[in-house]
C-alpha cells in the first residue's frame, strides 16, 4: 500500500508497451522516479524519451528478465541510483499456445523464463531491499505487483504452457503476500489478472531470443495464435484502464486486480468443481460456439 506516489521510485518490467508503458505514464504524472526495463530497445528508447520529457527522473535498461545475472545487475543499479524502490511491477510477459504436448523444450524455457523466472528474480532481488528500507524508515511504504492473467485462475485448452506460467505467478504472489505480512506492515503485494486486453502480448515472438528459436509451428499453435490475435485485438478494456486499476489497487492495498470481473463466473465454476471433486467443467459453457469451433478446427487439422 502506498499513500503518496510523489518522489517514490517505481521499477517496471515490460515497460515499453502495454500495461508497463501505461503504468509508467501514470507514474510520471504522479511525479515518480521511473526505472524502465524492457528487452525491445527501440520501444524502450521511445518510452524513456517520453517519460524524460515529462520531467521525471528516468533510468532505462535493456534487460532479459529471465537472466539472473542481468537482473542482479539491474537491482544493483537501481539501489545505487535511487535506493530501494517503493513500487515494483514485475510485468514482462510473453504468450504461446498450442496443445500442451506439442510445445518444445525451447517453448517451455522461453515462456517460463520470462513469465515465471522474470517474476521470481524481481521478487528475490527487490523484496530484501525494500524490507531493509522499511526497517530503517518506519515511514517507508512498498508494494510489489506481479502480472499473472485470468489464465492463472483458469485452464483454457490449447494454451497450457501459458496457463502453467501464470498459475505459478498467482501462487507465488499469494505466498509473497502472506510471507510479507508475517514480517512487515509496510510492504504488501498484488497480483494482476487481466483477461483479453489489446497489448503486444499476442505478438510476443518478435522478442523471442535466437537461442530459444521456435520450431516450425504445429497446426494447434497456428490455431492458438489466430484465436489469441482475435481475442486480444477485440478487447474493449484498454491497457490504460488496467494501469489505472493497478495504481488504485496499490493505493488501497487490494490484492487481486481484475480487468474483467465478469469473467470470474468461470473461476467460480472451476473452484466449485475442485471443492466438490468433480471433473473440470466445460470452459466454453457460456460460449459453446467458441469451444465447438476450436474442437472442429483441431480435429480437421489432425485429420
Known catalytic residue: 195?
no
Dist CA 112 CA 116 (whole Å): 5
How many CB atoms are located within 10 Å of the residue 289 CB?
Answer: 8
List C-alpha distances in Å: 30 to 25, 200, 247, 250, 259.
9, 25, 10, 13, 22
Dist CA 52 CA 28 (whole Å): 9
| Sign of the CA dihedral with 127 first, then 131, 137, and 140 last | positive
* Grid cell 474442437 in the structure block, residue: 295
Neighbouring residues of 142: CB distance < 8 A, sequence distance ≥ 6: 2, 84, 85, 86, 87, 88, 130, 133, 134, 186, 187, 188
Out of 162, 177, 195, 258, pick the active-site residue: 162
DSSP 201-258: GGGGGGG--GGGPPPSPPHHHHHHHHHHHHHHHT-SS-HHHHHHHHHHHHHHT--EEE
Helix axes 288-302 and 219-233, enclosed angle (nearest 10): 150
Q: Are strands 58-62 and 33-38 parallel, antiparallel or unpaired?
A: parallel
Neighbouring residues of 203: CB distance < 8 A, sequence distance ≥ 6: none
Helix axes 160-183 and 105-112, enclosed angle (nearest 10): 30
Catalytic residue set = 162
Amino acid at each position: 500500500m502506498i499513500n503518496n506516489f510523489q518522489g517514490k521510485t517505481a521499477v517496471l518490467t515490460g515497460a515499453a508497451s502495454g500495461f508497463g508503458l501505461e503504468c509508467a505514464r501514470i507514474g510520471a504524472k504522479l511525479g515518480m522516479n521511473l526505472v524502465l526495463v524492457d528487452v525491445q530497445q527501440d520501444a524502450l528508447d521511445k518510452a524513456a524519451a517520453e517519460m524524460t520529457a515529462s520531467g521525471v527522473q528516468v533510468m532505462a535498461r535493456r534487460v532479459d528478465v529471465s537472466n539472473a545475472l542481468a537482473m542482479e545487475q539491474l537491482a544493483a543499479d537501481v539501489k545505487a541510483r535511487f535506493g530501494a524502490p517503493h513500487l515494483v511491477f514485475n510485468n514482462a510477459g510473453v504468450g504461446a499456445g498450442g496443445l500442451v504436448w506439442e510445445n518444445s523444450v525451447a517453448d517451455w524455457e522461453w515462456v517460463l523464463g520470462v513469465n515465471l523466472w522474470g517474476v521470481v528474480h524481481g521478487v528475490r532481488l527487490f523484496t530484501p531491499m525494500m524490507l531493509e528500507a522499511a526497517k530503517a524508515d518506519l515511514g517507508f511504504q512498498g508494494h510489489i505487483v506481479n502480472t499473472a492473467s485470468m489464465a492463472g485462475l483458469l485452464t483454457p485448452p490449447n494454451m497450457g504452457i501459458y496457463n502453467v506460467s501464470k498459475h505459478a505467478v498467482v501462487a507465488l504472489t499469494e505466498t509473497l503476500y502472506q510471507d510479507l505480512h508475517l514480517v512487515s506492515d509496510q510492504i504488501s503485494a498484488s497480483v494482476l489478472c487481466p483477461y483479453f486486453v489489446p497489448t503486444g502480448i499476442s505478438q510476443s515472438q518478435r522478442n523471442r531470443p535466437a537461442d530459444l528459436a521456435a520450431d516450425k509451428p504445429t497446426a494447434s499453435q497456428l490455431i492458438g495464435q489466430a484465436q489469441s490475435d482475435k481475442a486480444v485485438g477485440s478487447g474493449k478494456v484498454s491497457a490504460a484502464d488496467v494501469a489505472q486499476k493497478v495504481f488504485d489497487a496499490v493505493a488501497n492495498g487490494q490484492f487481486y486486480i481484475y480487468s474483467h470481473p465478469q469473467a470470474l463466473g468461470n473461476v467460480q465454476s472451476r473452484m466449485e468443481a475442485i471443492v466438490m471433486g468433480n471433473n473440470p467443467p466445460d470452459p466454453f459453457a457460456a460460449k459453446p460456439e467458441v469451444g465447438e469451433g476450436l474442437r472442429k478446427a483441431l480435429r480437421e487439422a489432425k485429420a
